[in-house]
């Protein structure tokens, strides 16, 4: 509407009243459009069409020439009317958004709607609320934008770029200046200091630019979700693009990495599948490195004893099939089926999501720990077998060699906490008694009949695993992580609710909430430059309790001591 209103003829009688109506539509959360028209006489049209054709076939600056030509004819329009469309929020969008907030995910809304529409939607989604310090950026020029940005930034002071209970609303025209190089850093700092950011009147290109800015300047992972063709740019720019297949067509879904049916499914995608997928991937990666390092370092120890002549310890074919047959099952099981907590728990406690956000499962330290562990296991496996067979009885040596890698699978399955099935246990005991190579002939018979072999089989994996098991136990007893506590409660069929709630609202955030409220009482924020609009306070009714407020209702009631005698007169 802002565009159309500027193109109207100056004496249009309806433009004033229509603007007012549009504002009230927007306040109600409707999406507004204006419709205007003009009758063009044929002379005017003919002279214009020439200019337009030239512009359309120009070699240089075609887009600008076409825009110029369009401007020439689009003026003095006659306003026909305005439309307001109720674009209902999907089911459970507010709940989903609050869950995402609880998981520590910052949410930005990039929309093409008017500011009032967007702010209204923001309040209904709980992106904005009265607990948050609401900041606005709505200046018209580069200088003013810069000044406003610097004012806001300095008002944060120390807590810039940290988690604050603030929100930011920025207009499309101001965004243009804010993304320009002089203001960009300040804008970014301000934006990431806020819990949620709403950008209104954004063009598709600006959506992509904003995502690009965040991606480049912070080390956060960005996810963009949208449902229309105008979201395709940002979906493709972000690290993860999610498209909602819906009424606006499938273009967003086609351009995205993941497509879902409704917005609320995003939470399940992230909290359940995202976390599971992350943990599984990490485990598969680490396990793959571990098993190969373990096996081939054993060859290294053998080289010490065969004069470094290059003779291999494990028979040729079995080494080749090692990766394919014998140790394929654990990564598959880990990768497909591993679950740390059940789906219901993950959905109930978004706080668990934080565990996958901070590189807790795969980082340099963990990687090298696994590698060292693999070397340690290979030492145990090899040298214990060596010590047992010092007299060099070939049968037993070969037997233990061929047996070592199934020990490996055993070890690694036991060494990781995963969900697995009986058939895997049987599978990992699968014996390579296929006599592919001459030297293996008869191996099975002699190996199985050797008591050394069986006793060694029991002892050696246990020894190798002992250190891991002890470490795990210690860690669980002394440094238990939230995820592990939740797991245990789940298994005991108890409700992990108290656990998670206790951890979630730390004292720091509670104090911060109170400070923000105090500040909004004493500090006068600049009111937006909108004439004729009364920004209604969205407080709700006086006697109702705020949800998720600082003091929950049940606690309030409990604190009230009914034994105290009421003062007379009440």
Partner 1 sequence: MSTPENTDDREQPKSKKPADTAFKQQRLPAWQPILTANTALPVFLIIGLTFIPIGIVLVVTSNRVLEYDIDYTDTKCININNNNNQTCADYLKDNPVPTTPCTCKINFTLTSDFDGDVYFYYGLINYYQNHRRYVKSRDDNQLLGKSGSAATDCEPFQKINGTDIAPCGAIANSLFNDTLTLVYSGQTVPLQNTSIAWSTDKNVKFQNPSDPDPYFRNHAKPPNWNKTAWQLDPTHEDNNGFENEDFIVWMRTAAMPTFRKLYRKLLTTSEPFTKGLPSGTYELTIVYQYPVINFAGRKQFIISTTSWMGGKNPFLGWAYIVVGIVCVIVFAVFFILHRFWKMYVLAY
Going by the annotation, the residues of the binding site are 31, 111-113, 201, 207, 227, 230-231
* DSSP-assigned letters across all residues of 46-107: HHHHHHHHHHHT-SSSHHHHHHHHHHHHS-SBEEEEEEEE--PPPTTHHHHHHHHHHTT--E
Structure tokens that stand for 262 in this block: 């409704």
Report how far residue 171's alpha carbon sits from residue 35's, in angstroms, rounded to the nearest whole number.
23
Closest by CA to 167, choosing from 202, 205, 139, 193, is 193
Q: Which of residues 137-196 bind partner 1 (CB under 8 A)?
A: none
Burial of 57 (0-12, 13-18, 19+ CB in 10 A): exposed
Query: What DSSP designation does 570 have?
Result: -
Q: Nearer to partner 1 by C-beta: 317 or 538?
A: 317
**In terms of residues, how long is the chain?**
570
Residue 105 CB, nearest distance to partner 1 (Å)?
23
Closest by CA to 220, choosing from 204, 202, 197, 203, is 197
- How far, rounded to the nearest angstrom, does the alpha carbon of residue 38 sit from its chain's CA centroid? 49
Judged by CB under 8 A, does residue 96 bind partner 1? no
Mutual orientation of helices 62-73 and 42-56 as an angle, nearest 10°? 170
Count, residues near partner 1 per rule CB under 8 A: 67
Candidate ranges 18-26, 123-131, 352-360, 397-405; the one touching partner 1 (CB under 8 A): 397-405
SS3 206: helix
Burial of 103 (0-12, 13-18, 19+ CB in 10 A): buried
Interface pattern 450-489 for partner 1 (x via CB under 8 A): xxx--xx--x--xx--x--xx-xxx-xxx-----x--xx-
Candidate ranges 131-139, 385-393, 521-529, 546-554; the one touching partner 1 (CB under 8 A): 385-393
Residue 473 CB, nearest distance to partner 1 (Å)?
5
Mutual orientation of helices 394-415 and 451-478 as an angle, nearest 10°? 20
Judged by CB under 8 A, does residue 234 bind partner 1? no
* Candidate residues 162, 205, 216, 305; the one interacting with partner 1 per rule CB under 8 A: 305
* Candidate residues 198, 199, 389, 457; the one interacting with partner 1 per rule CB under 8 A: 389
C-alpha neighbours within 13 Å on the C-beta side of residue 299: 14
Residue 145 CB, nearest distance to partner 1 (Å)?
39
Closest by CA to 98, choosing from 226, 216, 271, 236, is 271
Q: Nearer to partner 1 by C-beta: 391 or 524?
A: 391
* Candidate residues 111, 196, 397, 409; the one interacting with partner 1 per rule CB under 8 A: 397
Residue 392 CB, nearest distance to partner 1 (Å)?
3
Report how far residue 86's alpha carbon sits from residue 77's, in angstroms, rounded to the nearest whole number.
26
Annotated binding residues for ATP, written as ranges, equal 31, 111-113, 201, 207, 230-231
Candidate ranges 198-206, 350-358, 363-371, 417-425; the one touching partner 1 (CB under 8 A): 417-425
Judged by CB under 8 A, does residue 374 bind partner 1? no
Please give the C-alpha separations between residue 212 and each of 105, 204, 215, 234, in angstroms, as whole numbers.
18, 13, 5, 8
Report how far residue 533's alpha carbon sits from residue 114's, in angstroms, rounded to the nearest whole number.
14
Q: Nearer to partner 1 by C-beta: 14 or 472?
A: 472
Q: Nearer to partner 1 by C-beta: 108 or 420?
A: 420
Interface pattern 245-284 for partner 1 (x via CB under 8 A): -----x--xx-xxxx----------------x--------
Residue 450 CB, nearest distance to partner 1 (Å)?
6
Is 432 in contact with 403 (CB distance < 8 Å)? no
Residue 49 CB, nearest distance to partner 1 (Å)?
40
* Candidate residues 384, 512, 515, 516; the one interacting with partner 1 per rule CB under 8 A: 384
Residue 300 CB, nearest distance to partner 1 (Å)?
14
Judged by CB under 8 A, does residue 520 bind partner 1? no
Closest by CA to 196, choosing from 97, 116, 270, is 97
Q: Which helix (H) or strand (E) holds 367?
A: helix 364-388
* Candidate residues 181, 438, 567, 568; the one interacting with partner 1 per rule CB under 8 A: 438
Residue 177 CB, nearest distance to partner 1 (Å)?
37
* Candidate residues 63, 364, 491, 521; the one interacting with partner 1 per rule CB under 8 A: 491
Residue ranges in contact with partner 1 by CB under 8 A: 243, 250, 253-254, 256-259, 276, 305-307, 309-313, 337, 339, 343, 384, 386-398, 401, 414, 417-421, 438, 441-442, 445-446, 450-452, 455-456, 459, 462-463, 466, 469-470, 472-474, 476-478, 484, 487-488, 491
């Amino acid at each position: 509407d802002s565009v159309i209103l500027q193109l109207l003829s100056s004496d249009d009688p309806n433009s004033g009243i229509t603007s007012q109506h549009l504002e009230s539509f927007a306040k109600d959360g409707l999406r507004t459009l204006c419709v205007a028209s003009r009758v063009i006489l044929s002379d005017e049209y003919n002279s214009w069409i020439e200019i337009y054709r030239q512009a359309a076939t120009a070699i240089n600056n075609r887009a600008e020439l076409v825009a110029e030509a369009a401007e020439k004819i689009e003026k003095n329009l006659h306003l026909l009317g305005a439309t307001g469309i109720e674009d209902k929020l999907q089911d459970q969008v507010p709940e989903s958004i609050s869950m995402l907030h609880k998981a520590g995910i910052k949410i930005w809304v990039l929309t093409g709607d008017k500011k009032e529409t967007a702010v209204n939607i923001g309040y209904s989604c709980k992106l904005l609320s009265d607990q948050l310090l609401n900041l606005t950026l709505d200046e018209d020029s580069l200088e003013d934008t810069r000044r406003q940005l610097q004012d806001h930034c300095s008002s944060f002071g120390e807590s810039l770029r940290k988690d604050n209970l603030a929100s930011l609303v920025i207009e499309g025209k101001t965004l243009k200046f804010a993304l320009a190089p002089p203001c960009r850093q300040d804008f970014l700092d301000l934006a990431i200091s806020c819990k949620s950011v709403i950008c209104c009147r954004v063009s598709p290109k600006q959506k992509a630019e904003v995502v690009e800015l965040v991606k480049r300047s912070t080390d956060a992972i960005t996810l963009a979700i949208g449902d229309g063709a105008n979201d395709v740019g940002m979906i493709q720019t972000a690290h993860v693009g999610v498209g909602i297949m819906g009424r606006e067509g499938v273009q967003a879904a086609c351009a995205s990495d993941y497509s879902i049916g409704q917005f609320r499914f995003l939470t399940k995608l992230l909290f359940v599948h995202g976390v599971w997928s992350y943990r599984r991937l990490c485990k598969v990666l680490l396990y793959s490195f571990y098993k190969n390092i373990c096996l081939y370092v054993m060859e290294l120890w053998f080289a010490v004893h065969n004069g470094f002549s290059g003779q291999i310890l494990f028979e040729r074919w079995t080494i080749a099939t090692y990766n394919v047959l014998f140790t394929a099952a654990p990564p598959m099981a880990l990768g497909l089926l591993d679950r740390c907590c059940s789906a219901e728990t993950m959905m109930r406690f978004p706080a668990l999501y934080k565990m996958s956000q901070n590189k807790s499962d795969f980082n340099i330290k963990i990687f090298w720990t696994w590698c060292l562990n693999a070397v340690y296991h290979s030492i145990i496996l090899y040298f214990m077998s060596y010590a047992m067979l010092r007299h060099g009885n070939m049968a037993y040596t070969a037997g233990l060699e061929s047996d070592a890698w199934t020990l490996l699978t055993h070890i690694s399955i036991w060494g990781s906490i995963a969900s697995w099935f009986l058939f895997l246990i049987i599978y990992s005991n699968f014996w390579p008694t296929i006599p592919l190579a001459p030297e293996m002939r008869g191996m099975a018979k002699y190996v199985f009949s050797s008591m050394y072999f069986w006793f060694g089989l029991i002892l050696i994996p246990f020894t190798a695993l002992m250190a891991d098991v002890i470490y795990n136990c210690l860690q669980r007893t002394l440094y238990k992580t939230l995820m592990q506590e939740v797991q245990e409660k789940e298994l005991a069929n108890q409700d992990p609710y108290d656990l998670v709630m206790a951890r979630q609202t730390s004292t720091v955030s509670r104090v911060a909430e109170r400070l923000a409220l105090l500040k909004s009482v004493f500090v006068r924020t600049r009111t937006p430059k909108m004439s004729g609009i009364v920004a209604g306070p969205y407080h709700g009714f006086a006697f109702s309790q705020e949800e998720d407020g600082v003091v929950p209702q049940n606690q309030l009631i409990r604190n009230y001591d009914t034994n105290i005698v009421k003062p007379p007169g009440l």
